[in-house]
Chains A and B, each alone.
Chain A
Amino acid sequence: MSDIAYVAEGRTMVVRSLRLSLRNVDSLITALALPVMLMLMFVYLFGGAIHTGTRYVDYVVPGVLLVCVGFGAATTAVTVSHDMTSGIIDRFRSMDVRAEALINGHVISSVARNMASALLVVAVAVAIGFRPHGSPGGWLEAVCILALYVLAISWFAAAIGIVVRSPEAAQGITFLVSFLPYPSSAFVPIHTMPPALQSFAHNQPVTAVADTLRPLLNGAPAGAAAWHAIAWSVAILVASVALAGALFRRRLS
């Protein structure tokens, strides 16, 4: 197959996945409602009781961002699983569509969807008093770090979507991924947690990403945390792409 044909096939699959996302009313409503609900809940219900040394809204924006995009990226497992368990996978394979093009379509669409969701989170935050002081360069860096994380989690979810037996089972992974920000620095400072939980919280990707985004949005340099965040995302991405490829071949032999 020529390079041009590869690109054309990839583009066709991205268009397909974007269209399917935009028309899936249930998940679209969830994607729009979740950022608003979470932001209001954390700032107005829990925020008063949590002491972070800063205004809570300034602290919590990365946390809400990571819950929303984590959940959104994890739904890639559901869309991939839907394709794998409906008749369409056989049609695509008998048409010689590459597995990479199919999965990539879902992943790219997930990144687009979740970056839009992230924009909504920030808009809601600003509406309730978040006043970020980050420089344009800092913001750009934050956007890239977040996009890389979404890309990694989407690929991870895609690998899960290939291996599970039904879209309902794939739903389980969305719960797991959206829970990951709670035992991290995203909502409360880690030193307030029990020791066992502290060591977990210090060594998981959400803490690294949250600790990178928070200073960048508020006008401070991210320091070593940025490298941790990049390392985590790249590691998850590489492992997931390899895993997805292997699982795809095994599932369909």
Chain B
Amino acid sequence: MTPHTAIEAKDVTKSFGATRVLDGVDLCVEQGTVFALLGPNGAGKTTTVKILGTLLVPDRGQATVAGHDVVGERHEVRRRISLTGQYAALDELQTGAENLEMMARLRRLPGRTARVRARELLEQFDLTEAADRRVERYSGGMRRRLDLAASLIDRPEVIFLDEPTTGLDPRSRQSMWALVTGLADSGVTVLLTTQYLEEADQLADRIAVLDGGRIVAEGTADELKERVGGSRLELELGDSEAFEEIWERVGRGALRADRPSLTISVATDGGAGEVRALLDELDPDRVRIRRFSVETASLDDVFIALTGHHTPTTESEAVYV
């Protein structure tokens, strides 16, 4: 482990009863970067975060966070991290200010300093107006902001965020993204989990794709996209007859096919020659394909290519091949 490594996990394995939830996870996160753990529900994201955050002990393997072992030196680790779970960890019956002051007191700040720090954070997270309102009257977005504020009381070195935007409306999601970006700029290390490909793409320096308790790919968003050829050709067909015919011709080359919208995606390098050849090959009479476009491969495509199944957030009528 180099001095610049904030999180390192080797062969971390965990079972609950007969179910193996993590199966030899290796991770390495550099200090001051944002790392996204991307995967569908049940992939093992929360278990990974809980082990790195000292809340669960792995059956096998080891992990260090902020330079300390998460099992043997968990008290040292706890002093240097903060962990924000999937559900806002706040008292509904206390006000925003009271919640933050309580957390500050538990972090051993004296009364006056605790009050000052709480007000500072409320202001930073745009919650000053709601400071003296009980959390039960907060919106989902406000709760997440307060939850994140609570995790920053003691200026941790490493921050774990478990699905920070799940269930938020698009506007609240945007504001969470801005806050996470701000954290990264201030030099802390952030490990976040997400089911949203777009979120990982937007926020993370590096992404690890977790599926069935294993890391199936790791790299920057661009590196991952490279793995599926870089681009995809989107075809919109004239009618359902044309759809069936083209789908048959594309066969295993299809990234996905969506019957209701009569669209099929095909992996391509995006070059003019290859696209022209593909169109000619699939539709020699030039009557079945109504429209086409060439798109940069999304992480969604990466996910399908790597795991053979789609992520829950792309749930639609689509048929994946």
Contact = CB atoms under 8 A, between A and B. Distances in A.
Contact of A90 (B50, B57, B81, B102): B50
A87 B85 contact: yes
B86 interface: yes
Given A20-B94, A91-B150, A96-B75, A12 B85 contact: no
Nearest to A252: B55
Given A24-B93, A86-B89, A88-B90, A94 B54 contact: yes
* Residue of A15, A24, A95 with most partner-chain B CB within 10 A: A95
Interface stretch (B104-112, B120-128, B244-252): B104-112
20 contacts: A5-B108, A16-B102, A19-B94, A20-B91, A23-B94, A86-B89, A88-B89, A90-B53, A90-B55, A90-B85, A91-B84, A91-B89, A91-B103, A91-B150, A91-B151, A93-B54, A95-B82, A95-B107, A96-B78, A252-B55
B296 to A, nearest CB: 37
Contacts of A92: 106
Interface of A: 5, 8-9, 12, 15-16, 19-20, 23-24, 86-88, 90-97, 252-253
Contacts of A15: 102
Contact of B78 (A16, A19, A95): A95
A93 B105 CA distance: 15
B298 to A, nearest CB: 31
Nearest to A23: B93
Nearest to A20: B93
Interface of B: 50, 53-57, 75, 78-79, 81-91, 93-94, 98, 102-103, 105-108, 134, 150-151
Given A20-B93, A88-B91, A8 B103 contact: no
A5 to B, nearest CB: 6
Given A90-B50, A94-B53, A16 B150 contact: no
A94 B160 CA distance: 11
Contact of B83 (A9, A16, A91): A91
Contacts of A94: 53-55, 78, 81-83
Contacts of B108: 5, 8
B106 A9 contact: yes
The 10 A-B pairs of least Cβ separation, nearest first, read: A91-B89, A87-B89, A87-B87, A94-B83, A23-B93, A87-B85, A12-B105, A96-B78, A88-B89, A90-B85
Contacts of B54: 93-94
A90 B53 CA distance: 9
Contacts of B150: 91
A95 B106 contact: yes
A20 B150 CA distance: 18
Given A87-B88, A88-B89, A94-B54, A16 B81 contact: no
A90 B98 contact: no
Given A95-B103, A252-B55, A16 B88 contact: no
Given A16-B102, A90-B50, A95-B107, 5 more contacts: A19-B98, A20-B91, A91-B85, A94-B81, A252-B55
Given A88-B91, A94-B55, A8 B105 contact: yes
A58 B55 CA distance: 53
Nearest to B81: A94
A88 B147 CA distance: 10
Contacts of B75: 96
A86 B55 contact: no
A90 B89 contact: yes
* Residue of B56, B85, B106 with most partner-chain A CB within 10 A: B106
A175 B37 CA distance: 45
A204 to B, nearest CB: 35
B106 A97 contact: yes
A77 to B, nearest CB: 18
A12 B57 CA distance: 28
B21 to A, nearest CB: 15
* Residue of A19, A88, A94, A252 with most partner-chain B CB within 10 A: A94
A253 B14 CA distance: 12
Contacts of A12: 102, 105-106
A96 B108 CA distance: 11
A94 to B, nearest CB: 4
A86 B87 contact: yes
B55 A93 contact: yes
A9 to B, nearest CB: 6
Nearest to B91: A20
A85 to B, nearest CB: 10
A71 to B, nearest CB: 20
A8 B53 CA distance: 24
Nearest to A22: B93
A93 B151 CA distance: 13
Contact of B91 (A5, A8, A9, A16): A16
